[in-house]
């Protein structure tokens, strides 16, 4: 059931996707009824199925990670990658013991020790490294396991500094996150995953010594190639980006759409980077449905939460404009949209509209001192 659901989700046929969601619902309903430990492939397929559907299913992930904690030394690299990727995508960090067991599994150690793992092994090793780094913020033990895994992946994938000629296989629903384990992941996307993992460790509070451990495991060529791939990642403004930009133009706010906030690591892509008259630079993240769980539209997915941590770590003032708030404002009501962004951005300048109507910034209840990304 889990295998079928996972494969149907990736199709473009809405009937197949609807059938896969029913299968995922049945899997969730019966997760606690299945007695005994789950076999490795069943645990991995179940975890990957709910994560691919963006369905928050802690009962399924708990069973999968419990199976890993009991011993995953005989698991395949694909099984390890599936479970870790599912936990990271749904932002459900497992216990530190389970993460340590998965990151230290024999398959991961073997792939890390190879001078040049085969193509699928390289992709799965990247998924393991990215997922471990994405979960590193949970505790010091999570962070320690992630540092070792990311360093090992950098060392094993040093050959990726050379172009293998493979075409990039992007994933339109995962943002900067790598494609699911088992899917094609060309060199450029592997390099982005490695650089993303390095940034995630820094945002999780890794010490200088821990970051030096990662840097020492790689080569200058791989580091430069990963940074270049990260900087060149393709992105295009969505209709919501353009709508927010149009309103900002009406507010006479200087801004850039799909801009880059440059830093020493190559920069972070920002949906809309606004420069306000008082000198502040604000990163506006326009989050569509692909940033949230399918069954809980207000719960951000793992890569969305990671992006928020990266922005905060970079010292950027950031706000989120979620689709479930923006889409409720009629597109013809530019005044209401301007007032909405005025509150989000904290613009104190008095706005004057046609007909003499005006608006001044007034913080919403509980807004002062609160994180604008909450």
Determine the topology of domain 239-359 in CATH: Endonuclease; Chain A (3.40.960)
Determine the topology of domain 2-231 in CATH: 1.25.40
Which of 329, 147, 145 lies closest to 339 in space, CA to CA? 329
Which residue matches tokens 């962004």?
A: 341
Number of alpha carbons in the 13 Å side-chain half-sphere of residue 338: 23
Record the tokens describing residue 174, joined without a space. 């995962």
Q: Beta partners for 269?
A: 260
What pLDDT does residue 219 have? 85
Which residue matches tokens 């002062």?
A: 368
Which ranges in the chain are annotated with CATH 3.40.960.10? 239-359
Find the radius of gyration of the CA atoms of the chain: 22
Q: Which phi-psi region, left, alpha or beta, contains residue 71 (left: φ > 0; alpha: ψ -120 to 50)?
A: left
Ranges of H-type helices in the chain: 2-9, 14-30, 40-52, 58-69, 77-89, 96-103, 106-113, 119-134, 140-156, 187-203, 208-217, 220-231, 239-250, 302-313, 323-326, 334-345
Output DSSP code: residue 118.
-
**Residues near 41 by Cβ (< 8 Å), separated by ≥ 6?**
76, 79
Residue pair 318/373 in contact by the 8 Å Cβ criterion: yes
What b/e string do you get for 59-94 counting C-beta neighbours within 10 Å, with b at 16 or more?
Answer: ebbbbbbebbbeebeebbbbbbbbbbbbbbbbbbbb
Q: pLDDT (tens digit, 0 to 9) for every residue of the chain, 374 residues total?
A: 444 445 545 544 545 555 556 666 666 666 666 666 778 888 888 898 889 888 898 888 998 898 888 888 889 999 999 999 999 999 999 999 999 999 999 999 998 887 666 666 888 999 999 999 999 999 999 999 999 999 999 888 877 666 554 444 433 333 455 566 665 567 788 888 999 999 999 999 999 999 999 999 888 888 888 888 887 766 678 889 889 988 888 887 777 776 666 555 557 888 888 888 777 788 899 999 999 998 888 999 999 999 999 988 888 888 999 999 999 999 888 889 988 998 888 876 665 555 555 555 555 454 443 334 43
Residue pair 32/59 in contact by the 8 Å Cβ criterion: yes
What pLDDT does residue 150 have? 94
Which ranges in the chain are annotated with CATH 1.25.40? 2-231
Q: pTM for the full model?
A: 0.82
- How many CB atoms neighbour CB 168 within 10 A? 16
């Amino acid at each position: 059931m889990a295998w079928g659901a996972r494969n149907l989700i990736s199709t473009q046929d809405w009937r197949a996707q609807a059938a896969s969601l029913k299968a995922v619902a049945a899997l969730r309903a019966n997760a606690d009824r299945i007695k005994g430990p789950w076999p490795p492939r069943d645990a991995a397929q179940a975890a990957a199925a709910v994560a691919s559907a963006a369905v928050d299913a802690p009962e399924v992930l708990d069973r999968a990670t419990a199976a890993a904690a009991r011993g995953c030394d005989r698991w395949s690299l694909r099984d390890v990658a599936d479970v870790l990727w599912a936990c990271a995508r749904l932002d459900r960090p497992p216990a530190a013991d389970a993460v340590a067991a998965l990151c230290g599994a024999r398959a991961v150690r073997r792939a890390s020790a190879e001078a040049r793992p085969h193509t699928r092994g390289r992709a799965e090793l990247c998924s393991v490294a990215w997922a471990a780094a994405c979960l590193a913020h949970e505790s010091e033990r999570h962070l320690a396991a992630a540092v070792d895994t990311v360093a090992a992946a950098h060392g094993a994938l040093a050959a990726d500094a050379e172009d293998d000629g493979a075409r990039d296989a992007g994933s339109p629903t995962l943002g900067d996150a790598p494609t699911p384990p088992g899917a094609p992941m060309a060199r450029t996307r592997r390099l982005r995953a490695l650089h993303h993992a390095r940034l995630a460790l820094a945002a999780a509070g890794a010490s200088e010594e821990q970051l030096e451990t990662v840097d020492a495991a790689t080569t200058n060529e791989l580091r430069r190639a990963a940074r270049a791939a990260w900087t060149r990642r393709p992105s295009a403004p969505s209709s919501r980006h353009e709508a927010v930009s149009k309103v900002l133009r009406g507010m006479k706010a200087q801004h850039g759409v799909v801009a880059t906030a440059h830093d020493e690591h190559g920069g972070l892509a920002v949906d809309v980077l606004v420069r306000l008259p008082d000198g502040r630079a604000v990163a506006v993240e326009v989050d569509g449905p692909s940033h949230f769980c399918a069954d809980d539209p207000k719960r951000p997915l793992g890569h969305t939460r990671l992006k928020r941590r990266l922005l905060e770590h970079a010292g950027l003032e950031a706000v989120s404009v979620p689709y479930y708030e923006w889409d409720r404002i009629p597109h013809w009501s530019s005044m209401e949209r301007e007032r909405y962004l005025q509150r989000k951005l904290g613009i104190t300048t008095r706005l004057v509209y046609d007909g003499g109507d005006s608006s001044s910034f007034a913080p919403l209840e509980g807004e002062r001192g609160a994180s604008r990304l909450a």
